[in-house]
Structure 1
Amino acid sequence: MRQTRILVMDDHRLFVETLAVRLAMEPDIEVLPVAHDIKGMLAIAKTGRPDVVVLDLMLGSVSTVGALQDLLDRCPEARVIFLTAAQDVSLMVQAVRSGAVGWVPKSVGADQLIRVIRTVALGGGYIPSRSLAELLRRLTTGDEVAEAEHRLASLTQRERQVLSCMVDGLGRSQIAESLGVSVNTARTHTQNLLNKLEVHSALEAISLAMRAGLRPSVPAA
């Protein structure tokens, strides 16, 4: 029986080590040493030559999508699955455009994850059915939408939360209250996201966010 070499990376040590033990129980799966950060993942990938890599999408507030090119440069044959609690389709689009072939919610059971790993190892892919239509729509839209999504992918998780509040029409003090931070902190996050998005005003940021698919969470009265 041919074994599929699996590399798993997650910064929650108990979770990733428990997952590795469960995967290793399968006779057709060989689990490489687990990684807890991007540097460790790239080092293990270079020597272990995994067939499938299962990545946590967020390490703290940092997206691991940006590390995908480095990983595929080292292991061009590797098939990459993101295992994540995030449900942001914009991040999913960025991940697929960067070379990922699977996106699995952390709410699934181990048996389903193993089925996905086997499917991916054989050349298939996996996207949750509830997200597939929107993902395909965004992947087939024009360059303007793709550019907007690319810019949003540079934001941290907190900056995306601030941007979502801006799309909802909240002012700075309301954003601070909603996120449980000071007004100064909200101001800093706002300025950082404006710089990253290469825009000069909140209105431009909101317009860019809506081109990327963000919508107000509560319809205006």
Structure 2
Amino acid sequence: MQPIRVLIVDDHALFAEALSARLQREHDLVILPVAADVRRALALAATERPRVLVLDMTLGAESGLDVLDRVRTSHPDVRVVVLTATDDLDTLVQAVRRGAVGWLSKTESADLVARVIRSAARQGGWVPPDVLGEVLRRLLSGAPEPDGGARLLAALTPREREVLQCMVDGLGRAEIAERLGLSANTVRTHTQNLLAKLDLHSALEAITLAMRAGMRPRG
């Protein structure tokens, strides 16, 4: 696979530079110049074509959620991973609703940040396991009528529905491949296809939609 182009957007210079230097040691990541403000971030997103944007939730007077909206509007193919010092669950849920595919605390290791970047680039995502249940509950609390989700799921092939059910069951790509007797690459292709059909950006959004439509974990 081609190297993953990564743009870090953070106005804490020492932190951002240290993270950039650490991630540059990953052979499959290309770390672009750090953006310390929104204007610079949007300019670099346009000229450098990052695959993943690592975004702080506060950029001076700017709200990270507003920045997220602008990035998603201008560059819908960019995958946004939030890396922040805040642990506010309401902000986390709003970020996911607005298209973020990952959420990390700045206290996490650079190794985990790199893994989440790779997952985001491959149509995956990540939310801390200890808050995932509550995040899903809050996402589901504003759910539309089940029929709406069911109509969307009707566009999926039987195999794509099987993959989605495995995602709802909490399985990772390797586990889905083992359960269904497929290769990991085939599972990735099915995942990408079902996300495209549902006009979603992450596995978490797909799981939320599936549960809104009545799909539940098995076992």
- Show the counterpart of 2:100: 100
1:118 aligned residue: 118
- What corresponds to 1:21 in structure 2? 21
- CA contact under 8 A between 1:23 and 1:29: conserved in structure 2? yes
Q: Deviation of residue 73 (structure 1)?
A: 2.4
The one-letter amino acid paired with 1:38 is V
- TM-score, normalization by structure 2: 0.63
The unaligned stretches of length 5 or more in structure 1 are 144-221
**Counterpart residue number, 2:73:** 73
Alpha-carbon offset, residue 112 of structure 1: 0.9
Amino acid at match of 1:28: D
1:103 deviation in Å? 0.2
Q: Letter of the aligned partner of 1:97 in structure 2?
A: R
Once the 2 structures are TM-superposed, how far is the Cα of residue 74 of structure 1 from its aligned partner?
2.3
TM-score (norm 1): 0.62
Instruction: State the Cα deviation string for residues 127-156 of structure 1 (Å, max 9, x = none).
Output: 00111111101101137xxxxxxxxxxxxx
- Report SS of the residue matched to 1:50: coil
Distance (Å, rounded) in 2 between the aligned partners of 1:142 and 1:17: 39
Asked if residue 63 in structure 1 is aligned to residue 58 in structure 2, the reply is no
Aligned residue in 2 for 1:82: 82
Matches of 1:60 and 1:88, distance apart in 2:
18
Q: Which amino acid aligns with 2:34?
A: V
| Stretch of structure 1 that moved more, 33-42 or 69-78 | 69-78
Identify the residue that residue 50 of structure 1 maps to in structure 2.
Answer: 50
Q: Percent of counterpart pairs with the same letter? A: 48
SS state at 1:140 partner: helix
Amino acid at match of 2:106: K
Aligned 1:1-221 pairs, distance under 5 A: 1-60=1-60, 62-142=62-142
Q: Tell me the matched-pair count.
A: 143
CA distance in 2, matches of 1:46, 1:62: 19
Where 2:80 maps in the other structure, the secondary structure is strand
**Aligned CA-pair RMSD:** 1.3
Q: Distance in 1 between matches of 2:68 and 2:58?
A: 13
Q: CA deviation at 1:2?
A: 1.3
Alignment check: 8 A CA contact 1:9 1:34 kept: yes
